[in-house]
Structure 1
Amino acid sequence: MNTPLISPQFASSDSEPMIISTASHSSQRVTQRHGHSRGQLLGTLQGLISIEAESSQWIVPATHAVWIPPNVQHSLLGTHGQFEGWSIYIQKNACAKLPIKPCILELSDLLREAINRTMSWHNSELQPEQKRLIAVILDEIRTSPQVELALPMPKDMRLLKIALALSDNPSDDRNINEWGVWAGISRRSLTRRFTNETGFNFTEWRQKLRMLKALELLAAGKPITEISLYLGYDNISGFIAIFRRNFGVTPGNYQRAMRNRLSWRNFTYTSIQNDNHINDKLIK
């Protein structure tokens, strides 16, 4: 679904309300590349979201949230699995002390509950305790740890061609020489440029892509054996070991936790780091 959660006028309004809070329940959401003068924090209660901003792609689980500063171009590439999402849009002048670059934030229980509380506000005149809660939200966004769950995309068109091909078919196991011939770039240039432009060597980048794709497929309820084969692993035990090394939990436990809505903060992200119905609440 491409319908914005709020109107472009609200998303770019500098007038009251200070925060616009929205919730979304949809089997699939996609939005085209766009920007607005309000800052946006978005995340999920259930399912995953894929976000693109400033030449990077993020696949974000419900343990984390995405911060988009004012006037940064971005798009929602898609949602994955049974989806319940939320967003808050913050006046530009209230974003002065918030992160100036798009980033992924570790979502504290306090921030999650504070945002959830705002969804029930209907009154136009906020009470003192509600104003204090908005201040808490802003402080939590400012101080929340930033984590590296992003998938950086290379800028060189030849490397981007490879990256997009792997995104479409992560099981493609061509080696670096074969990819170089296919894209028309020497092995030496491919190796050097891939590291310089993404921060990962080619092998590391491909493994990170596969792990982020695994999160999508687990959210969609796909069987673990099917996911392992789709991602190009010869045996399921190898896939389970790599997934656990990256996320600190087995794929089966991760999928069960998603299904049962367990506390996401039990999951430790380790080596991955190197609407059909819309309910809008206006908060002044």
Structure 2
Amino acid sequence: MHSHPRGHLVYAASGVLSVHTERGTSIVPANRVAWTPAGFMHYHRAHGHTDMRIVFLPASLARLVPGHPAVFLVSGLAREILLTLTGPRNYDRVPGEHDRAARTRLRRVLVDELHEAREQPLQLPEPQDDRLQAIARMLYEQPADSTPLAELGKTIGASARTLSRLFHNELGMTFYEWRTQLRIYHALVLLADGHDTTHVAHACGWANPSGFIAAFTNIIGTTPGRYRTSHLVPQCGGDERHGEVDR
């Protein structure tokens, strides 16, 4: 866990990333970018072969994006800016005044693109209530567990009504929405590890692949097969990290 004096964007040019903060886990597949504001304790984790890009934002631009961790859809223009700001030429020479001005302009356009993009439902909030934490631990270990909330409640001594209220008040979603988010997170990790759609569907709790494909497409915006083909093809020699120095 660490923090930075400036907020930063993390982008997977290929592969799958997760960003963990005290607020929860942001799932970052290759068509999304994660924002972590300044001062937030966090750590990153790469799943499978991942090309990770980092861009820090000055306070003047950071105030234009949310004050909480968030995930955004990446437009084609935003992707090219992220790749340009973190490309090899940034390490070849000491930047001159023109280079610094150009990067400043690119960051401004990038923030404009994020401002227009809608925030994505890929933030898996971390429960604080002891009862919700107990349920979360069970499902983290067994994401395919389809036990109804009422039955899970019996194991920890809480009613389904109480747990439903806690999920809504504390996490802002229903238990079933939260569990689906958790399963999609695990699905992205398994896809990054090379597993096929049928295996991932069953491993994450769907009775058949078609139900998994529908849920995955609804959240990620493409089918698991297309996502694997388009975003999980290795583009570097191994897990790579490119970005700007935080200064």
Structure 2 length as normaliser, TM-score? 0.84
C-alpha separation in 2, matches of 1:68 and 1:229: 33
**Residue of structure 2 equivalent to 1:49:** 17
Where structure 2 has 5 or more consecutive residues not aligned to the other structure, the ranges are none
Equivalences for residues 65-84 of structure 1 within 5 A: 65-76=33-44, 78-84=45-51
Task: Provide closer, same or farther for how the CA distance between residues 161 and 230 of structure 1 changes in structure 2, counting only shifts above 3 A.
Answer: same
Alpha carbons 2:18, 2:46 under 8 Å: kept:
yes
Q: Aligned match of 2:108 in 138, 147, 171?
A: 138
Equivalences for residues 115-130 of structure 1 within 5 A: 115-118=82-85, 119=87, 120-121=89-90, 122-128=92-98, 130=100
C-alpha separation in 1, matches of 2:105 and 2:177: 40
**Residue of structure 1 equivalent to 2:144:** 171
Instruction: Compute the RMSD of aligned alpha carbons.
Output: 2.7
The alpha-carbon deviation at position 222 of structure 1 amounts to 0.6
- Between stretches 80-89 and 252-261, larger displacement belongs to 252-261
C-alpha separation in 1, matches of 2:197 and 2:134: 29
Task: Provide closer, same or farther for how the CA distance between residues 93 and 242 of structure 1 changes in structure 2, counting only shifts above 3 A.
Answer: closer
SS, match of residue 34 in structure 1: coil
Task: Provide closer, same or farther for how the CA distance between residues 163 and 136 of structure 1 changes in structure 2, counting only shifts above 3 A.
Answer: same
Where structure 1 has 5 or more consecutive residues not aligned to the other structure, the ranges are 1-32, 263-274
The alpha-carbon deviation at position 52 of structure 1 amounts to 1.6
**Residue of structure 2 equivalent to 1:101:** 68
Q: Aligned match of 1:234 in 187, 207, 216?
A: 207
Alpha carbons 2:50, 2:240 under 8 Å: kept:
no
Residues 1:219 and 2:192 are matched in the alignment? yes
Task: Provide closer, same or farther for how the CA distance between residues 246 and 279 of structure 1 changes in structure 2, counting only shifts above 3 A.
Answer: closer
**Residue of structure 2 equivalent to 1:184:** 157
SS, match of residue 111 in structure 2: helix
Identity across aligned pairs (percent)?
A: 30
C-alpha separation in 1, matches of 2:200 and 2:152: 23
Which letter does structure 2 place at the counterpart of 1:59? I
C-alpha separation in 1, matches of 2:243 and 2:127: 37
**Residue of structure 2 equivalent to 1:15:** none
Q: Deviations over 1:9-44 (max 9, x none)?
A: xxxxxxxxxxxxxxxxxxxxxxxx221212221111
Structure 1 length as normaliser, TM-score? 0.74
Which structure has greater helix proportion? 2
SS, match of residue 164 in structure 1: helix
The alpha-carbon deviation at position 280 of structure 1 amounts to 6.5
Alpha carbons 2:56, 2:244 under 8 Å: kept:
no
Which letter does structure 1 place at the counterpart of 2:120? V
The alpha-carbon deviation at position 138 of structure 1 amounts to 3.2
Q: Deviations over 1:150-199 (max 9, x none)?
A: 11222111111101221221111211121111122122211111111112
The alpha-carbon deviation at position 85 of structure 1 amounts to 0.7
Q: Aligned match of 1:207 in 176, 180, 199?
A: 180
SS, match of residue 35 in structure 1: coil
**Residue of structure 2 equivalent to 1:5:** none
